[in-house]
Amino acid sequence: MLTLKKNFTALLLLLSVTIFAQVQVRITLKDDNIISGTVQLSKVSLVTDYGKLEIPTKNVTGIRMGVKSEEEENAKTVDIVEIDNTYSMAGQTNIKTMDVKTEYGTLNIPSDKIERMEVYMVTDGQSVFKLLASKHISCNASGGWLNTGIMLKKGENFTITANGQVVFASLSGAKYTPDGKTVGSSNSSYDYNTNTEELYSNAYPNYGNVVYKIGEQGAMMKASDKFSGTAGDFGVLYLSIYEAVYNPQNTGSYIVKVERK
């Protein structure tokens, strides 16, 4: 109980600053229809068993609405807010309806019709991310892909640049850089860089390469240490480090910059 209270206090400190924001949402309705668009949402209020949280939208990555406990037959439903892809807090949100601006007009969606809502910040310019060799490996089924929160539109231009060094315990301690080269070796990778995602799709990554995909189920693409291309689909940008075997004893990291054009 003491640890839980400490975590809750840490969350309160983390979420102490709020901003008014326009966010991109992908809403899955209870009838399985999906609606994508933007909403104006400064924060999400969540009343929990331990107090009330005022969560800035920039920290919210997802909300599940009206979740019922499978263990307690008569348990009340709760909303589960996912925070920074790290924490999940259950309680009652202040969301009654969502006014979603879509390409076909604004839709007013009651919360009791919503099953899940994914939230992404609408970002312009450059964003910086850190890929950890101990976690962000493409074959790691438990969090191997970093959700950047960047929602790309089909045909949108973007660039990815990366630097750093990782050590793969899975490859006898070999050191790699984002371009797929081993540190201290003269080996080089064929330059598959091109300016469109469609042409680039035939370039298979090398160990250590930065890779990306658009959408959770999107195809893995090679970015290497420098990539400039066009989004072939609509969706969230995910980043990872390519390896065929995951070992949590890997060390090192890459600093990756993403810029929308």
CATH code (residue 196): 2.60.120.430
Distance CA 105, CA 101 (A): 6
Choose the final residue of a domain: 103, 121, 139: 121
Query: Which pLDDT band holds residue 150 (cuts at 50, 70, 90)?
Result: confident
Choose the final residue of a domain: 91, 121, 151: 121
My answer on whether 111 and 150 are in the same domain is no
My answer on whether 46 and 86 are in the same domain is yes
- Predicted confidence at residue 114, as pLDDT, reads 95
Q: What angle do CA 180, 185, 188 make, to 5 degrees?
A: 45
Residue 149 has pLDDT above 90, yes or no: no
Residue with tokens 């892809």: 85
My answer on whether 36 and 108 are in the same domain is yes
Residue 147 has pLDDT above 50, yes or no: yes
Range name among 6-15, 68-77, 175-184, 209-218 with the lowest pLDDT average: 6-15
Q: Between the CA of residue 63 and those of 52, 55, 156, 181, what are the distances in Å?
A: 16, 12, 27, 40
Q: What average pLDDT does range 142-156 have in this prediction?
A: 88
N-terminal to C-terminal alpha carbon distance within the chain: 48
Q: Quick one: which H or E segment has residue 255? A: strand 251-260
> Bridge partners of 91?
79
What single DSSP character describes residue 43?
E
My answer on whether 186 and 107 are in the same domain is no
Mean pLDDT across the chain, nearest whole number?
82
My answer on whether 179 and 241 are in the same domain is yes
Distance CA 138, CA 128 (A): 19
Choose the final residue of a domain: 121, 155, 172: 121
My answer on whether 239 and 189 are in the same domain is yes
| Proportion of the chain above pLDDT 70, given as a percent | 80
Q: What is the dihedral of CA 32, 37, 42, 48, to 10 degrees?
A: 10
- Predicted confidence at residue 201, as pLDDT, reads 41
My answer on whether 110 and 141 are in the same domain is no
My answer on whether 107 and 156 are in the same domain is no
Burial class (CB in 10 A: 0-12, 13-18, 19+), 144: middle
- Predicted confidence at residue 189, as pLDDT, reads 43
Number of structural domains (the chain) is 2
Written as one letter, the residue type at 54 is E
Distance CA 237, CA 152 (A): 7
My answer on whether 171 and 101 are in the same domain is no
Q: What average pLDDT does range 157-167 have in this prediction?
A: 95
- Structural domain span for residue 153: 126-260
My answer on whether 149 and 34 are in the same domain is no
My answer on whether 56 and 23 are in the same domain is yes
My answer on whether 186 and 168 are in the same domain is yes
Query: Which pLDDT band holds residue 16 (cuts at 50, 70, 90)?
Result: very low
